[in-house]
Chains A and B, each alone.
Chain A
């Protein structure tokens, strides 16, 4: 059995354990809510967790090489970026996957070939962590951009009020808003 087959065979145990670890970053009531409230539109955080862990594991089973890393982390990162977490906390779901894999599969990694595959996978996950960090920065920068946009909107409003109320007909900066 190679590592991909091993992961495929243990996929649901890995997923349950990994989700549980990720959810530890939330208070107890929220863990239940995020995990158990199945209605997608009533629980977008839980739905994103479900979805993102499923696609990431699916990609692992298939070997990860052919997939778009960004799509594997994007939704979850955007959520974590606005939930009061430090950057390390926000991105920790990938180290937690490594931890889960080692704890779940550790006793099965007894051949040299498997342990080599595991090392490769971990390196690959390190790469994914870097992608996740990039996406986290994109999300945070977007927040600041939006914040700056709010300031611009306010000064545009003030400018427009001033211009209109002075009877001028063209409004500088109008295109920007």
Chain B
């Protein structure tokens, strides 16, 4: 029947239905608003990465080298040998479906290939075909697929629609971590020069200057001095912030966004105020001027290359241990990989707070402590004076950033600190926080503007829980401990939950901190007058 013969309502119904497709059909449509730009040749060349070319995912022709399949298969073989987890994850999934509805991208879009089990199956089907007897003989009957250009494009589409947040892994009875499968998928694509610009430019910057923003040493120094001056204006106290000085007890490493971006910068002011007040013996480093590591979103080798500077600077500057700031993915690298990649750091000592005597035995191996643990310990031992009423204009909830939560189990320390530095705090629903926390939808190098639509739907489950506490508890602030969150949650909330702002934990610490000899604080660290006290509200729990 031709469409001309349809009644209007029938026509409406027909245009409404997408064509029914089997999951094995790899065709994907690269739409604007959904996909990130391809990496440019300059950055790939700078990083000595292969097959650099001018290319966009929306192009028909991906300019693949003639032997591209061989490159992928060899790459897969090599990784199956080197990474036992990859081999195990390829073999043991029983398709129980426990992970299926746990991914924020699936929850927000309904696209079945965003179910973690199917995302992994995109790679696994090719693995079966190429590397298992059953797949070689029985093919599609056992879920095996041949690799072709469409499959390759499908990999790119879906491996850059996974934020490597690991939520799915919490629910898998076998502990399969789809984030690691995504990492392998991205590594394989890299072999053909297929990566995204938003990851590769920060990588190239970081390789050149030590930080993603490409700030050179003198610029880093100027930015710290600028912050010191601004803090002096706000508090009346000129703090010291040593840079590249040898022989201090501690090397402090934060994400570079803290030095420039908003609202990150207010967290930097918080760190500086705190360190001054407790007389911390520390130095910053212009080379280890980035805690974040976009190498994690690219490849094992790149992550190792960029991470090496942290121990190397700790050694050069002759410190005893390392303190790390509010970054998310940085902690996945530091906590889970640094020790084996670039350690053991035998030249460092097991971290011990000289103020409280607490030994951070959890960091005995990496020698690196998370600032929320450090600050929680200070407060526990009454080492700082706090005036929580200075945060009375905020009514906060806490977003567990994926990596500190699921890669470190850091749940209670930030909450403890938060509840000491402010009075108005409310949790989001329990199935959306702690280890079950929902991703911002923009992690793992996807926090750029060209894929904004995809970010909004990926972030829907997070924003929806924020909306709930906004509407029921009048929450107006979302606190988090991650530089990517601080950049990507504000636009997410602007779309779904207007009226809620985003701040770092140590911004609130800095607001509440009573500094010896300070001027009367008339504003918070943002320069907002402290004038609108809310009624004190706190969850009973």
Could you tell me the distance in whole angstroms from the C-beta of B12 to the nearest C-beta in chain A?
4
Indicate whether A78 reaches chain B with its CB closer than 8 angstroms: yes
B218 CB contacts on chain A under 8 angstroms:
165
Cβ contact within 8 Å between B9 and A24: no
Indicate whether B452 reaches chain A with its CB closer than 8 angstroms: yes
Cβ contact within 8 Å between B495 and A92: no
Cβ contact within 8 Å between A82 and B219: no
Cβ contact within 8 Å between A143 and B18: no
Which stretch (B75-83, B109-117, B315-323, B341-349) binds chain A? B109-117
**A27 and B491 in contact, given A157-B213, A164-B260 (Cβ under 8 angstroms):** no
**A89 and B111 in contact, given A82-B456, A165-B215 (Cβ under 8 angstroms):** no
Indicate whether A99 reaches chain B with its CB closer than 8 angstroms: yes
Cβ contact within 8 Å between A42 and B101: yes
B31 CB contacts on chain A under 8 angstroms:
84
- Per-residue contact bits, chain A 155-173, to B (CB 8 Å; 1 contact, 0 not): 0110011001111010000
Cβ contact within 8 Å between B431 and A41: yes
Cβ contact within 8 Å between A161 and B219: yes
- Per-residue contact bits, chain A 44-78, to B (CB 8 Å; 1 contact, 0 not): 11010000000000000000000000000000001
B460 CB contacts on chain A under 8 angstroms:
44-45, 79, 82
Could you tell me the distance in whole angstroms from the C-beta of A172 to the nearest C-beta in chain B?
15
Looking at A24, A151, A161, the one whose CB has the most chain B CB atoms below 10 A away is: A161
Residue in B223, B431, B448, B496 whose beta carbon sits within 8 Å of that of A42 in the complex: B431
- Per-residue contact bits, chain B 85-118, to A (CB 8 Å; 1 contact, 0 not): 0000000000000001100001111111001000
Cβ contact within 8 Å between A165 and B494: no
Cβ contact within 8 Å between A150 and B110: no
Closest-by-CB residue of B relative to A28 is B20
A167 CB contacts on chain B under 8 angstroms:
222
Cβ contact within 8 Å between B110 and A164: no
Q: In the complex, how many residues of chain A place their beta carbon closer than 8 angstroms to a beta carbon of chain B?
A: 53
Q: How far is the CA of A154 from the CA of B491 in the complex (A)?
A: 13
Report B1-33 residues with CB < 8 Å from chain A CB: 8-9, 12-13, 15-18, 20-21, 31, 33
Report B432-491 residues with CB < 8 Å from chain A CB: 432, 448-449, 452-453, 456-457, 460-461, 464-465, 468, 487, 491
Indicate whether A149 reaches chain B with its CB closer than 8 angstroms: yes
Q: How far is the CA of A159 from the CA of B182 in the complex (A)?
A: 35
Looking at A31, A96, A102, the one whose CB has the most chain B CB atoms below 10 A away is: A96
Secondary structure type dominating chain B contacts: helix
**A83 and B457 in contact, given A41-B432, A161-B260 (Cβ under 8 angstroms):** yes
Cβ contact within 8 Å between B496 and A25: no
Q: How far is the CA of A16 from the CA of B196 in the complex (A)?
A: 43
Cβ contact within 8 Å between A96 and B13: yes
Closest-by-CB residue of B relative to A148 is B449
Residue in A92, A143, A151 whose beta carbon sits within 8 Å of that of B456 in the complex: A143
Closest-by-CB residue of B relative to A27 is B112
Cβ contact within 8 Å between B33 and A161: no
Residue in B12, B34, B111, B431 whose beta carbon sits within 8 Å of that of A96 in the complex: B12
Indicate whether B149 reaches chain A with its CB closer than 8 angstroms: no
A84 CB contacts on chain B under 8 angstroms:
31, 34, 109, 111, 453
Q: How far is the CA of A149 from the CA of B492 in the complex (A)?
A: 12
Q: How far is the CA of A82 from the CA of B109 in the complex (A)?
A: 8
Q: How far is the CA of A82 from the CA of B215 in the complex (A)?
A: 35
Cβ contact within 8 Å between B12 and A30: no
Indicate whether A10 reaches chain B with its CB closer than 8 angstroms: no
Could you tell me the distance in whole angstroms from the C-beta of B170 to the nearest C-beta in chain A?
13
Q: How far is the CA of A31 from the CA of B226 in the complex (A)?
A: 54
Indicate whether B180 reaches chain A with its CB closer than 8 angstroms: no
7 inter-chain pairs at a CB distance below 8 angstroms, sorted by A residue, are A30-B110, A84-B453, A95-B9, A96-B13, A143-B495, A156-B262, A164-B260
| Apart from A44-B461, A95-B9, A99-B13, 4 more pairs, CB < 8 Å | A24-B17, A92-B13, A95-B13, A143-B33
Query: Chain B residues in contact with chain A, CB under 8 A?
Result: 8-9, 12-13, 15-18, 20-21, 31, 33-34, 100-101, 106-112, 115, 213, 215-216, 218-219, 222-223, 226, 229, 260-262, 429, 431-432, 448-449, 452-453, 456-457, 460-461, 464-465, 468, 487, 491, 494-496
